[in-house]
Structure 1
Amino acid sequence: MKVRLSLMNFLEFAVWGSYLTCMGIYLGNIGMAGHIGAFYAMQGIVSIFMPALMGIIADRWIPAQRLLGICHLLAALFMFAAGWYGMVNGEGASFAILFTFYSLSVGFYMPTLALTNSVAYYCLELKGMDTVKEFPPIRVFGTVGFIVAMWFVDIMGFKSTYEQFFVSGAFSLILFLYTFSMPTCPLSDDDNKQSLVDAFGLRAFALFKQKRMAIFFVFSMLLGISLQITNGFATPFIESFKSLPEYAGTFGVKYPVILYSLSQISETLCILMIPFFMKRYGIKNVMLIAMFAWVARFALLGAGNPGAGVWMFILSMIVYGVAFDFFNISGSLFVNDNTDSKIRSSAQGVFMLMTNGIGATLGSFAAQAVVTAYTDANGATQWATCWYIFAAYALVVGVAFAFMFRPRKTGVKA
Structure 2
Amino acid sequence: MNILSTRLSIMMFLQFFIWGGWFVTLGTFLAHNLDATGGQIGMAFSTQSWGAIIAPFIIGLIADRYFNAERILGLLHLAGAALMYSLYLADDFAAFYPLVLLYMILYMPTLALVNSVSFRQMTDPSREFAKIRVWGTIGWIVAGLAISYAFAWDSAQAIEAGLLRNTFMMCAIASLALGIYSFTLPATPPKAGKGESVGIKELLGLDALKLLKDRNYAIFFIASVLICIPLAFYYQNANPFLAEIGVANPTGKMTLGQISEVLFMLLLPIFIHRFGIKKTLLIGMLAWALRYALFAYGNSGDLIFMLILGIALHGICYDFFFVTGQIYTDARAGERFKSSAQGMITLATYGVGMLIGFWVAGHITDLFANNDGTHAWQGIWLFPAVFALAVLVLFLLSFKDKPRPASEEVEASQA
1:228 partner SS: helix
Q: Cα distance, 1:59 vs. partner?
A: 5.5
Match of 1:45 among 37, 46, 50: 50
Question: Structure 2: which 5+ residue stretches go unaligned?
Answer: none
Q: 1:288 to 1:185 in 2, by over 3 A?
A: closer
* 1:236 matches 2:240: yes
Q: Cα distance, 1:131 vs. partner?
A: 7.2
Q: Distance in 2 between matches of 1:222 and 1:298?
A: 16
1:112 partner SS: helix
Query: Residue 98 of structure 1 corresponds to which residue in structure 2?
Result: 96
Q: 1:193 to 1:180 in 2, by over 3 A?
A: farther
State TM-score, norm by structure 2: 0.81
1:261 partner SS: helix
* 1:164 matches 2:167: yes
Matches within 5 A, 1:103-114: 103-114=101-112
Match of 1:400 among 378, 394, 397: 394
Asked if the contact 1:22–1:236 (Cα under 8 Å) also holds between the matched residues in 2, the reply is no
Query: Residue 13 of structure 1 corresponds to which residue in structure 2?
Result: 16
Query: Residue 173 of structure 1 corresponds to which residue in structure 2?
Result: 176
Query: Residue 253 of structure 1 corresponds to which residue in structure 2?
Result: 248
1:277 partner SS: helix
Q: Cα deviations across residues 83-127 of structure 1 (Å, max 9, x unaligned)?
A: 222xx4xxxx33x432211111121112222333455567xx5xx
Q: Distance in 2 between matches of 1:31 and 1:224?
A: 25
Q: Distance in 2 between matches of 1:187 and 1:332?
A: 19
Query: Residue 289 of structure 1 corresponds to which residue in structure 2?
Result: 283
Q: Cα deviations across residues 18-37 of structure 1 (Å, max 9, x unaligned)?
A: 12222222233334333333
Q: Distance in 2 between matches of 1:285 and 1:371?
A: 32
State TM-score, norm by structure 1: 0.81
Asked if the contact 1:39–1:99 (Cα under 8 Å) also holds between the matched residues in 2, the reply is yes
* 1:219 matches 2:231: no
2:248 partner SS: helix
Compute the RMSD of aligned alpha carbons. Answer: 3.3
Q: Cα distance, 1:136 vs. partner?
A: 4.2
For 1:302, the aligned partner's letter is A
Q: Distance in 2 between matches of 1:185 and 1:280?
A: 31
Q: Distance in 1 between matches of 2:269 and 2:230?
A: 24
Identity of aligned residues (%): 34
Q: Is 53-62 or 97-106 further displaced after alignment?
A: 53-62
2:313 partner SS: helix
1:305 partner SS: coil
Q: 1:375 to 1:84 in 2, by over 3 A?
A: farther
Query: Residue 274 of structure 1 corresponds to which residue in structure 2?
Result: 268
Q: Cα distance, 1:174 vs. partner?
A: 2.6
For 1:141, the aligned partner's letter is W
Asked if the contact 2:368–2:380 (Cα under 8 Å) also holds between the matched residues in 1, the reply is yes
Match of 2:207 among 203, 210, 219: 203
For 2:283, the aligned partner's letter is I
Q: 1:81 to 1:347 in 2, by over 3 A?
A: closer
